[in-house]
């Protein structure tokens, strides 16, 4: 009868994922509606009758496994593909069969990895990377659906469009269900072509650039772990993908000395790096290295006054950090849980770097909301800078944002405290609905807190050796503190802005603002002279150095004027 003829648009049986989870399946082809909605692979293969029984929550033979069945199947396929690739390319030699690598497996034992022992990024005519960790390991970029092919010309996203790796939409549509089902997100492996990697230069040039970055930019924005970077490069299990290449390119960009007569926004490396970032984003790429490279791009744009790109890039960093779950421990995370304290500290520093830049780009752009929320007073600030760089554990209680200024803190922790107060000043000035009594009381409190921080910073800076930092100590924290103070004082020093009928605290705040403008202007000029004298006494070009501090001093000069 016609009613017994099966519908050709429907499968004969429910899909395998729906059968395993005992969900109702509409049998739609090529993918059922449930699998399509949550972004998982839909498999209509007929199950083999091998005596095993599938049950709820990934149970096999009545025993609950530690890993979901579909994850195991996907992992088997990935292992088979990797084995085939290694056999075809002859990538792994006998020297690394025993798993010996040139870096330590953990980052909390104090071991360090030198560039000569752990990293050798050799340049080849075909643009492929060769990473030698002292064990003969050779890794080259993979080819696949997310791989860009080599080109003799400059790279462009439109010329290398490809199908993006699937991303589980359920992570954003229903994060509670995503967490409840214990789903995980496998980051796609994306590689870049030769034309995009040529800017990194030879192996020796790359090592020199990395070390130059850690001697300069890293001192006032320490968001990249020195030891973890070298361990990542030397680890034979880590393929050199697009995220690591983007981080290296961003490092080169931020230390780049822009030539005379060349606009920073017209720099070729800057344009190509922005295009590569857009491509990786279109491929659903995400990693901590990708976020770090975006932060360095934002720093370059801020230092060279490239607006509105700087404002937009900082907002992108904030959104990506939110998606990754860096802003709080309770948020669903795209990244795997950190395995070491060094990795956890690196994520904390990246998020604080976003917060600091978010406050800074809003100094002169008043009336706009921040891209990041106000940190809680109990939020932990970064720990010891030197110990973290070496991967060493140290005995110290976690330092909260509200800790006393007499408590010893690292230079970057002081920068975080200064950026937090800068944010409070900007929020205070932008709140037009505050009562007059409370407004002037809060302004006086902010003024005194900033003065206390400024005194503590100058005392700490005077006790530090210049050679320890290779730059005036605590210059970043001091610059942001001066910016916050001058922004606050500028709003209350002018008589024309006085509010009729306001309490006596208005006159008190005006008096403190006028006196503070003279005092902080002199201090800011002294710091600017120290930076100028230091740059003149070194071989480092000004364009390769303290971009963020220079931009902050420029803001201070505008407030002084």
Q: How many CB atoms lie within 10 A of CB 231?
A: 26
Determine the pLDDT at residue 130: 39
Question: What's the pLDDT score for residue 310?
Answer: 93
Least confident range from 13-17, 391-395, 513-517, 547-551: namely 547-551
- DSSP structure string for 411-471: HHHHHHHHHHHHHHHHHHHH-TTS-HHHHHHHHHHHHHHHHHHHHHHHHHHHTS-HHHHTS
Distance CA 27, CA 13 (A): 7
In a domain, 281, yes or no: yes
Long-range contacts of 464-468 (CB under 8 A, 24+ apart): 466/534
Query: Do residues 246 and 310 share a domain?
Result: yes
Same-domain check for residues 296 and 351: yes
Say whether pLDDT at 68 is over 50.
Answer: yes
CATH of the domain at 35: 4.10.240.10
Judge if 467 and 365 occupy the same domain: no
Is residue 146 predicted with pLDDT exceeding 80?
no
Note the pLDDT of residue 49.
52
Please report the pLDDT score of residue 47 as a whole number.
60
Does some domain include residue 177?
no
The pLDDT of residue 141: 38
- Asked if residue 506 and residue 429 are part of one domain, the reply reads yes
- Residue 1 has a pLDDT of 46
| Residues 401, 379 contacting (CB under 8 angstroms) | yes
Residue 375 lies in a domain: no
Query: Do 513 and 431 reside in the same domain of the chain?
Result: yes
Reply yes or no: is the peptide bond before residue 308 cis, omega within 30 of 0.
Answer: yes
State residue 164's pLDDT score.
58
Do 415 and 316 fall within a single domain?
no
Q: What is the pTM of this model?
A: 0.69
Same domain, 494 and 542: yes
Would you say residue 363 has pLDDT above 60?
A: yes
pLDDT of 90 > 90? The answer is no
| Average of per-residue pLDDT across 10-30 | 86
Does residue 159 sit within a domain? no
pLDDT in tens, 231-283: 877 776 666 678 888 999 999 999 988 777 778 888 888 998 998 888 888 88
Q: Which whole number is the average pLDDT over 91-106? A: 37
Q: How confident is the model at residue 556 (pLDDT cuts 50, 70, 90)?
A: low
Range of the domain at 32: 10-44
532 within some domain: yes
What pLDDT band is residue 120 in, cutting at 50, 70 and 90?
very low
Q: Give pLDDT tens digits for 425-467.
A: 999 998 888 888 888 899 999 999 999 999 998 888 877 654 4
The pLDDT of residue 169 is 77
Q: Residues 169-199: pLDDT tens digits?
A: 777 787 778 777 777 777 777 777 777 777 8
Q: Is residue 539 very low, low, confident or very high in pLDDT (cuts 50, 70, 90)?
A: low
CA distance 267 to 273: 10
* Per-residue confidence band for 418, with pLDDT thresholds at 50, 70 and 90: very high
User: Whole-number mean pLDDT of the chain?
Assistant: 75
Q: Does residue 525 form part of some domain? A: yes
| pLDDT value, residue 371 | 93
Per-residue model confidence (pLDDT) at position 196: 73
Contacts of 3 (CB under 8 A, 6+ apart): none
CB 128 within 8 A of CB 140: yes
Nearest to 224 by CA among 55, 349, 38, 312: 349
pLDDT at 176: 78
Evaluate whether residue 540 is within a structural domain: yes
Q: Quick one: 350 and 209 in the same domain? A: yes
For residue 77, the model assigns a pLDDT of: 72
* C-alpha–C-alpha distance, residues 301 and 307, integer Å: 7
How many distinct structural domains can be found in the chain? 3
pLDDT bucket at 299, cuts 50 / 70 / 90: very high
Q: H-type helices in 42-169, by residue range?
A: 69-89, 115-118
CA 549 to chain centre: 20
Answer yes or no: is pLDDT of 481 > 90. yes
> How much of the chain exceeds pLDDT 90, in percent?
22
User: Do 437 and 542 have their domain in common?
Assistant: yes
Q: Do residues 546 and 474 make contact, with C-beta atoms less than 8 angstroms apart?
A: no
Identify the pLDDT of residue 384: 83
Question: 315, 343, 369: which is the final residue of a domain?
Answer: 369
pLDDT on residue 372: 93
Region of poorest pLDDT, from 294-308, 363-377, 380-394 = 380-394
Query: pLDDT band at residue 71, thresholds of 50, 70 and 90?
Result: low
Q: Are residues 285 and 352 in the same domain?
A: yes
Q: φ and ψ at 54, to 5 degrees?
A: -100, 140
* pLDDT exceeds 60 at position 76: yes
- Please, what sign has the CA dihedral across residues 487, 217, 527, 466? positive
Residue 370 near residue 364, CB atoms below 8 Å = no
Confidence tier at 520 by pLDDT (50, 70, 90): very high
In a 13 Å sphere around the CA of 424, the CA atoms on its Cβ side amount to 20
Mean pLDDT, to the nearest integer, of 60-78? 55
Give the pLDDT of residue 39.
Answer: 78
What's residue 298's pLDDT? Answer: 95
Question: Does 500 reside within a domain?
Answer: yes
Band of pLDDT at residue 53, cut at 50, 70 and 90: very low
154-167 CB burial, b ≥16 within 10 A, e <16: ebebeebeeebbeb
Residues 198 and 289 in one domain: yes
421-435 tens-digit pLDDT:
999 999 999 888 888
Q: How far apart are CA 92 and CA 138, in angstroms?
A: 6
Q: Are residues 210 and 359 both part of a single domain? A: yes
What distances in angstroms separate CA 308 from CA 305, 312, 315, 427, 555, one per listed residue?
A: 9, 6, 11, 21, 16
Q: Give the residue with greater pLDDT, 345 vs 400.
A: 345
């Amino acid at each position: 009868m016609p009613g017994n003829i099966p519908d050709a648009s429907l499968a004969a049986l429910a899909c395998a994922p729906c059968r395993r989870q005992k969900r109702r399946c509409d049998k739609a082809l090529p993918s059922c509606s449930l699998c399509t909605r949550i972004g998982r692979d839909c498999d209509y293969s007929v199950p083999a009758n091998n005596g095993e029984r599938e049950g709820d929550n990934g149970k096999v033979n009545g025993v609950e496994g530690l890993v979901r069945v579909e994850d195991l199947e996907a992992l088997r396929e990935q292992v088979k593909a990797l084995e085939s690739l290694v056999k075809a390319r002859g990538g792994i030699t006998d020297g690394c069969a025993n798993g010996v690598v040139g870096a330590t497996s953990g980052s909390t034992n104090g071991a360090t990895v030198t560039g000569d022992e752990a990293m050798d990024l050799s340049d080849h005519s075909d643009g492929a990377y060769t990473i030698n960790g002292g064990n003969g390991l050779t890794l080259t970029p993979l080819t696949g659906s997310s791989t860009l092919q080599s080109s003799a010309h400059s790279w462009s996203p439109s010329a290398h469009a490809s199908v993006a790796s699937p991303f589980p939409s359920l992570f954003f549509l229903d994060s509670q269900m995503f967490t409840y089902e214990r789903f995980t997100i496998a980051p796609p492996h994306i590689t870049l072509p030769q034309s995009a990697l040529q800017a990194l230069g030879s192996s020796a040039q790359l090592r020199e650039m990395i070390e130059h970055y850690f001697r300069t930019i890293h001192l006032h924005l320490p968001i990249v772990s020195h030891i973890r970077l070298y361990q990542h490069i030397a680890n034979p299990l880590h393929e050199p993908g697009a995220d690591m290449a983007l981080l290296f390119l961003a490092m080169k960009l931020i230390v780049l000395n822009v030539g005379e007569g060349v606009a920073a926004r017209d720099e070729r490396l800057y344009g190509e790096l922005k295009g590569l970032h857009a491509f990786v984003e279109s491929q659903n790429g995400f990693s901590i290295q990708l976020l770090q490279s975006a932060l360095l791009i934002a720093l370059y744009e801020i230092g060279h006054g490239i607006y509105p790109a700087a404002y937009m890039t900082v907002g992108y960093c904030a959104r990506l950090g939110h998606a990754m779950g860096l802003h709080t421990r309770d948020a669903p995370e795209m990244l795997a849980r950190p395995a070491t304290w060094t990795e956890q500290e690196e994520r904390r520093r990246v998020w604080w770097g976003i917060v600091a830049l978010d406050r800074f780009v809003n100094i002169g752009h008043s009336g706009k909301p921040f891209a990041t929320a106000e940190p809680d007073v109990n939020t932990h600030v970064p720990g010891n800078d030197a110990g973290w760089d070496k991967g060493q554990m140290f005995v110290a209680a976690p330092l909260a944002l509200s800790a006393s200024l007499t408590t010893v803190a690292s230079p970057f922790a002081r920068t975080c405290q200064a950026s937090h107060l800068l944010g409070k000043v900007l929020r205070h000035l932008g709140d037009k609905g505050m009562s007059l009594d409370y407004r002037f009381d809060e302004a006086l409190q902010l003024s005194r807190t900033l003065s206390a921080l400024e005194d503590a910073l100058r005392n700490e800076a005077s006790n530090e050796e210049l050679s320890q930092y290779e730059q005036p100590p605590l210059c970043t924290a001091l610059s942001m503190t001066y910016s916050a103070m001058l922004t606050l004082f500028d709003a209350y020093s002018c008589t024309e802005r006085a509010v009729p009928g306001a309490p006596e605290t208005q006159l008190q705040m005006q008096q403190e603002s006028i006196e503070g403008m003279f005092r902080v202007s002199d201090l800011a000029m002294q710091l600017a002279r120290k930076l100028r004298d230091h740059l003149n006494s070194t071989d480092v070009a000004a364009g390769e150095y303290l971009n963020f501090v220079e931009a902050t001093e420029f803001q201070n000069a505008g407030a002084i004027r």
